[in-house]
Amino acid sequence: MSGHDSTQRRRTVMGARVGQMVAAVTVAAILSLAAGCRTSEDDVHRWANTAQGPRKLVAVLTHDKYPIDLRIEAAETLVSMKPRGGRRIGIQGTDDQEGLVDALAQMAPAARAALIGNLVPKLQAEMAKPAPVQVVGQPAVTDNSVPYKDAAFAILTHDDGALMPDESLKKSVRTSLAAWCATDFSDRLDDSSQLFGVEQVLRELKAEGVRSLPDLMLPGVNKLDRMSDLTAELGDPETKQRASQKLVDVAKSVSSDAWVASKRPGVEAANKQSKLSPNPEQLKAQLAQYQDEELLRVFGSMKKIGGKPVVDYLLAFVQDKNAIEKRRAAAMAALQGNLDRNNAAQAAVILNIAGDPNTPDSLRDIALSRVGEFPRAMVVDKLYELFKNDNWKVRWVAASLVIKMSDASQIPEFMSKIGQAEGLAITEPLSYGGLFADLKGPPSPAELAQKYAATGNSLPARLTALSYYYSAGTPADLPKIAAFEKDNTATPKCKADAKECEWKCTVQAGSSEETKEIKTVGDFVEYCVKPAMQKRAKGAAK
């Protein structure tokens, strides 16, 4: 082989080797460049803290060139991003940048369904993690599950559920949301960091959302009143029935001696911290007041829930003459709107309390209010019996109730019964006459007043009729009462031991006022009825 050929071969081999080296370097460079341009999970997480991060995360979420796992990671990162300017922009977006929900809404249905089908179970898993434990005296802890709940709720409800057409997935999310709200209910109810508060979520879920709330109704629990509100508003009959029984259990616990004993150490510690040294009787009074307050709160929740267990318990409580008056009155008040208006036995319990001369006035007044919730025919005879009560105030409340339950055609019966009453106070006819103005049906209140004011009717009936003019008479009616200004019929006499029973009216005497004794019907018209009509005329003109 010649020298020239040998040299040429060496050049060829060297050229090949150089070419291989260049090719290797080029491939390495290309691979290196590709690796530098590829988006990774590290990038996704890092973008959560950058100004343009939300925009980049939305781009990864919505573009099908990225692996599904990375797109889901971008979605989760949007959810978990810390609020900016008080707004969760990862979920909500801003005026010029879409967040998670709007980005999903812009996607094609098939692609969106695939993403949501993978994303939602991850949101549910985060929601199901144990709630943080708040230690008294320590800084408030952050509930990291909140944004995942907010995202799940936003996806569920956006555009009336259009983002989640899969009914089985919807049902699963609703179940997760209900469980989340019931977990650590009292703290989460007050957590202002949420986009969608617990109450808003529960109202969306309706009966399903509050189904587990009765299980949380325990002695000493926080937010018992709000649980009761929401259960009463949203619960189905079965849930309300369970809540009714749970509240009875709570009331029984709170009213027990064991409850008082359990609270004693805490009260003593509070006294010590406040440098108070109550004697045994004072400590007992403190505990009794504490028990009163707690029991009355339970009664307030009972009023909202109602139900047979609650009504049966409260009816038994109001009949217990050994119970504290304030508690009996509160129990009676809690029956408002919960009694069965067609249940004669329940009506009898309330009427017996109202008619018992030993019933405290505070309880009697509320009992008579409850009587008004029953049909007139069921209770009116018992109310008429109360007209004979020695306490004029009992008759006053009962008679007022009868008028409120009556129409104009039933007034003759009322006038007959009130005509037999003795020891009227001036407050009674003035009150009854005022109620006449609201009577329905014929004859008109004015016709009734003119009829019963005339002589020949009983004195209580006449005074009641004349009191209609005191409350509703106009200057045009003055001639109708003029004939009675000289009527010397004596007014009723209060019983010797009657409290606050008097016959007096205050009239204007020049620039001052003067109290007049009302001894006759004429005095009643001159000093009570007529001035009220004249004063009303001046007020109307003014």
Q: Are residues 518 and 535 in the same domain?
A: yes
| Residue 167 banded pLDDT, cuts 50, 70, 90 | very high
Residue 400 lies in a domain: yes
Q: Is residue 21 predicted with pLDDT exceeding 90? A: no
Both 215 and 308 in one domain: the answer is: yes
Please, which pLDDT band fits residue 256 given cuts at 50, 70 and 90? very high
> Among the three residues 338, 355, 375, which one is the final residue of a domain in this structure?
338
**2 found inside a domain:** no
Under DSSP, is residue 94 helix (H, G, I), strand (E, B) or coil?
A: strand
Q: What is the mean pLDDT of the chain?
A: 91
Reduced 3-state DSSP string for 460-527: HHHHHHHHHHHHHCCHHHHHHHHCCCCCCCECCCCCCCCCCCCCEEEEEECCEEEEEECCEHHHHHHH
In this model, does residue 4 exceed pLDDT 90?
no
**Whether 485 and 464 share a structural domain:** yes
Question: Is residue 73 scored above 80 in pLDDT?
Answer: yes
Same domain, 480 and 514: yes
pLDDT of residue 511: 83
Q: Which amino acid would we find at residue 244?
A: S
> Could you tell me which residues come within 8 angstroms of residue 500 by beta carbon, excluding any fewer than 6 positions away?
393, 425, 427
Of 7-21, 232-246, 444-458, the one with minimum mean pLDDT is 7-21
Residue 510: the pLDDT is: 78
Question: Is the same domain home to 167 and 263?
Answer: no
Q: Between the CA of residue 437 and those of 191, 431, 465, what are the distances in Å?
A: 51, 11, 11
In a domain, 353, yes or no: yes
Query: Per-residue pLDDT for 44 more than 70?
Result: yes
Does residue 23 fall inside a structural domain?
Answer: no
What pLDDT was estimated at residue 137?
77
Same domain, 312 and 333: yes
Angstrom CA distances, 157 to 148, 150, 196, 217, stand at: 14, 11, 11, 29
- CA–CA separation, 191 and 134 (whole Å): 13
Residues 324 and 344 in one domain: no
397 & 437 share domain: no
Question: Domain boundary at 338, 355, 374, which?
Answer: 338
List pLDDT tens digits, range 77-126.
Answer: 999 999 998 899 999 999 889 999 999 999 999 999 999 999 999 999 99
Whether 135 is in a domain gets the answer no
37 Cβ contact partners less than 8 Å away, ≥ 6 residues apart:
none
Q: Which residue has the higher pLDDT, 96 or 315?
A: 315
Say if residue 337's pLDDT is above 50.
Answer: yes
Report the C-alpha dihedral over residues 98, 101, 103, 109, rounded to 10 degrees: -160
Within a domain: 28: no
Distance CA 129, CA 140 (A): 18
Q: Check whether residue 242 and residue 303 sit in a common domain.
A: yes
At 539 the pLDDT is 53
Rounded to 10°, the helix 392-404/361-371 angle is 20
Look at residue 17 in the predicted model and tell me its pLDDT: 52
Q: Are residues 161 and 237 in the same domain?
A: no
Residue pair 449/466 in contact by the 8 Å Cβ criterion: yes
Report how far Cα 485 is from the mean position of its chain's Cα atoms. Answer: 54
Q: Tell me which of 313, 338, 363 is where a domain ends.
A: 338
In a domain, 371, yes or no: yes
Question: What is the average per-residue pLDDT within 396-419?
Answer: 97
Which residues pair with residue 508 across a beta bridge? 513
- Count the domains in the chain: 4
Rounded to whole angstroms, what are the CA distances from 443 to 95, 173, 409, 460? Answer: 67, 62, 7, 20
In a domain, 39, yes or no: yes
Contact 152, 123 (CB under 8 A): yes
* pLDDT the model gives residue 30: 36
**Over pLDDT 70: what percentage of the chain?**
92
Tokens of 203: 């109202």
Q: What is the pLDDT of residue 541?
A: 43
The tens digit of pLDDT for each residue in 362-378 reads: 999 999 999 999 999 99
CA of 125: how far to CAs of 29, 285, 293, in Å? 42, 50, 41
Both 155 and 219 in one domain: the answer is no
Domain of 401 in residue numbering reads as 339-405
**Choice between 122 and 437, residue whose per-residue pLDDT is larger:** 122
Given a contact cutoff of 8 angstroms between Cβ atoms, the answer to whether 290 and 267 are in contact is yes
pLDDT band at residue 24 using 50, 70 and 90 as cut-offs: very low
Are 199 and 278 members of one domain? no
